[in-house]
Structure 1
Amino acid sequence: MSDANINTILIISAHYYPVKGGTPTHTHYLCTALSALGKDVHLITAGGDAPVTDDVAEHDSHLNYTLHRIPTRGKYKDDFFFLWSIRKEFPKYIAQLQPDVINISTGNFVPLALRFADVGSVPIVYTVHNVPPEEYTLNISSNEMINGVIKHIFFKFIRVVTRLTIRFGRYNLIISGSDRTKERLLDAGADGTDISVISYGVSLPYLDQSTKKDQNHLEVLTVAGIIEHKGQLEIVRSIPSILEKIPYVHFTFVGPIRSPVYLNKIQECADYLHVSEKLTITGEVSAECLDRYYRNCDIYIQPSYQEGFCLSLMDAMTYRKPVIGTPVGAIPELIGNDRGILIQSPSLKNIACSILKLAENPQLCLLYGENGRKYIEMTYSWDSVARITLDAYKKAVSVFTYSSKP
């Protein structure tokens, strides 16, 4: 089947701009790349009842695809509540647009909603960035014992809903962002024959080779939401031992505050260790500001306990930065054998040793940075990812057509 048979693509995203981060960014660039290939792309997302701010209006006016924001239940715009709105609103878009394929780009429980919605005879591709409750959090109390009990109950519920989604949700093919996510999908009951592993894409920044670095300053960057499974607290605990050899080091955490409880722990730990002046926590920043943080850092570290893929580490590699990461998500695939340091766990010793190793070996940093940039250029261009994704859509259409035959 030629991809000429796939002209109109309808994409669903539970999270989208002005939310920033891995999956919303992935969805935007996927839509952009598919449109650049001549496809009529429509994106349905939450937020139709939210005030249109200047930055949202500016963003939406420069798209090469069509954006539809649907009303949601007030403040409840996360994965689990988005499915109620999509079930109600979706049939009219099917009738209006008559898409050739539907891609659930973000929304861990949307396939369940579509099981009970009239979607007609349209094949559905389900893109899975992570398998809940991985990368989920719940912090409703500062009391760790109370929070732990509630989180345990909540996560058990999410696991049940996730298995129901994977086993009984409405979709014809799954796109997994990494081999690790595919393993978790299989554990949750997915059929291995219905999973295609497609890596994420990335936009390559222009780099000015003439940039001069301050030899008396070492900047270590982490870009991630402030949340327990991203491991920022472990970085803070490693700072005193790093300062013994590199007193001019500074650490910056960029990303939204997803867990105020965890933020308090980080700040209390920094105060206790007397390293607060060596740490900057920015919160969420603009794209222009984030670009500056990537350009100005010397080392990038992502000591996560959980990842679906890890777009921020891949972004750092596009800036020719030496990277440090843990063996979760696609981080091992990204780092490989010659593009950074893979630590087996985010322990104080592992973090400190890896940062010191890079700080004391500028030629190794250059080698890792060059190798990383070249690898990303060859493997993760958006044009390549979009074309591979179209092949997955064709497969989904074939599977759907075959299963629909009497």
Structure 2
Amino acid sequence: MNKAKLKICLVAPGYPPQDGGGIGTYSYNLALGLTKLGHRVYVVSQSDKEDAAENLNGVEVRRFKYRHVPKLEKLFPGLRWSFFIANQIEELDKKVHFDVIEFPNWEGVGFAYLLKKKRRPVVTRMHTPYFETLNIDTNNGRINLGDRFICWLEKKACHMSDQLVSSTLSHRDMMITSYFLGNKEVNIIPLGIQLVPRPDDRSKSKGNGKIKVLYVSRLEKRKGAITLVGAIPHVLQKFQNVEFTFIGKDRPHAPGGLTFENYFSTAHNQFKDKVKFLGFVSNEELSNYYRACDIFVVPSVYESFGLIYVEAMMHGKPVIGCKAGGIPEVVNNGKTGILIEPYNVNQLVDGLLRLLNDPQMRQDMGQNARRLCEEKFSFDRMASNTEHLYQKMKVSGNGR
């Protein structure tokens, strides 16, 4: 029996080619995968420019520019945007008649739509929650009322949703405990990406002959940027034929409230020619950097999953991450990469030097990483599992 083709709405904070972070990348891959299965997919997202409607690879994308109201947002951050998005979805639904709508837990964006007396079935994908980011950024210190409100909004939206999804068992268990979800079912669907052709032997350095180490993520405390910046001088003192590249928005989370680029150039000026800070780059440029690198490292303190590791592994690269959150369910320690304890500079230095000094280890781990992506983390697999959940929701009559 043929499966019914669904009309699906995905909500994202941003959607490529604009910067939407990990959630935007996830939404992009899911939208493509569901479209490939024959479903009609709409994406509703923020725009960093003006409102726009476009069809990208068969996906109908609706972007909306957010008009800030500072006084309101200081008291109730995220609430106005949640109501705005709810109204946009409701108007779009009058024409499309969605079967299911998926929100991220990000800033409780689904809250306002979930309040409606009549609505479509809703699934919330639980990414890294705001409270976890706050715990890391403030070292479990005092947080303001606006931050508390966002945490409440995210928690409330999860409780009100018809279905919840997590990408790893570790993250699911943490969210159930933190949000007091009780017996509420949480589906496990690992993230996936579109596979590129298998890479050739990447164990040899390219270009200028140096071994290339790549970091891709926001430069902030949660992503472990301070740990990597602290490790680099120790590595360069022992291994000089290497260069480090940072890609991602540079936030003022380094000592002294500096950006990491400013901090590194000030504290370690003698090594500044070995380290590049590139900021945001396009998807095409990012793919080139993944292909060209020899080692990928992001020592995040917490990831609900860690899609960045999968992106690197898909290109056949060994990765270094931390024993935290869902990362150990993505990176197989000793087989596809190396896992260290969070904040441990010495372990990171040791891990980098092991890979820098052993081309065969880099090659073996990279090949293992690629195989693991093909087996577990393809966007076809993610889309198929998500399709199954959506079909179940339609049959069971979720929504109201």
TM-score under structure 2 normalisation? Answer: 0.86
Alignment match, 1:346 = 343
CA distance in 2, matches of 1:239, 1:99: 50
Report if aligned partners of 1:257, 1:263 keep a CA contact under 8 Å in 2: no
Give the 5 Å matches for 1:2-401: 4-17=3-16, 18-47=18-47, 50-51=49-50, 60-70=54-64, 72-74=66-68, 80-105=79-104, 107-120=106-119, 122-135=120-133, 151=143, 153-167=145-159, 169=160, 171-187=161-177, 188-209=179-200, 212-214=204-206, 217-259=210-252, 263-265=258-260, 267-274=262-269, 275-337=271-333, 338-400=335-397
Cα distance change of structure 1 residues 294 and 137 upon mapping to structure 2, 3 Å threshold: farther
SS of the equivalent of 1:242 reads helix
Residue 162 of structure 1: CA displacement?
2.8
SS of the equivalent of 1:159 reads helix
Report if aligned partners of 1:314, 1:376 keep a CA contact under 8 Å in 2: yes
Cα distance change of structure 1 residues 161 and 42 upon mapping to structure 2, 3 Å threshold: closer
SS of the equivalent of 1:199 reads coil
Which structure 1 residue ranges, 5 or more long, are not aligned? none
Cα distance change of structure 1 residues 226 and 202 upon mapping to structure 2, 3 Å threshold: same
The AA in structure 1 aligned to 2:340 is: I
SS of the equivalent of 2:11 reads strand
Which aligned runs of 4 or more in structure 1 are off by greater than 6 angstroms?
75-78
Report if aligned partners of 1:79, 1:107 keep a CA contact under 8 Å in 2: no
CA distance in 2, matches of 1:23, 1:236: 25
CA distance in 1, matches of 2:381, 2:370: 16
CA distance in 2, matches of 1:178, 1:19: 24
Report if aligned partners of 1:267, 1:276 keep a CA contact under 8 Å in 2: no
The AA in structure 2 aligned to 1:129 is: H
CA distance in 2, matches of 1:270, 1:348: 19
Residue 7 of structure 1: CA displacement?
2.1
SS of the equivalent of 2:197 reads coil
SS of the equivalent of 1:67 reads strand
Report if aligned partners of 1:236, 1:266 keep a CA contact under 8 Å in 2: no
Residues 322-341 of structure 1: per-residue CA shift (max 9 Å, x gap): 11100234321121241111
Report if aligned partners of 2:192, 2:377 keep a CA contact under 8 Å in 1: yes
Residue 351 of structure 1: CA displacement?
0.8
Residue 116 of structure 1: CA displacement?
2.6
TM-score under structure 1 normalisation? Answer: 0.85
CA distance in 2, matches of 1:96, 1:118: 19
CA distance in 1, matches of 2:27, 2:95: 22
Residues 177-221 of structure 1: per-residue CA shift (max 9 Å, x gap): 222221232021224442101011112223552665259522111
Report if aligned partners of 2:34, 2:383 keep a CA contact under 8 Å in 1: yes
The CA RMSD measured in Å over matched residues stands at 3.0
Report if aligned partners of 2:82, 2:112 keep a CA contact under 8 Å in 1: yes
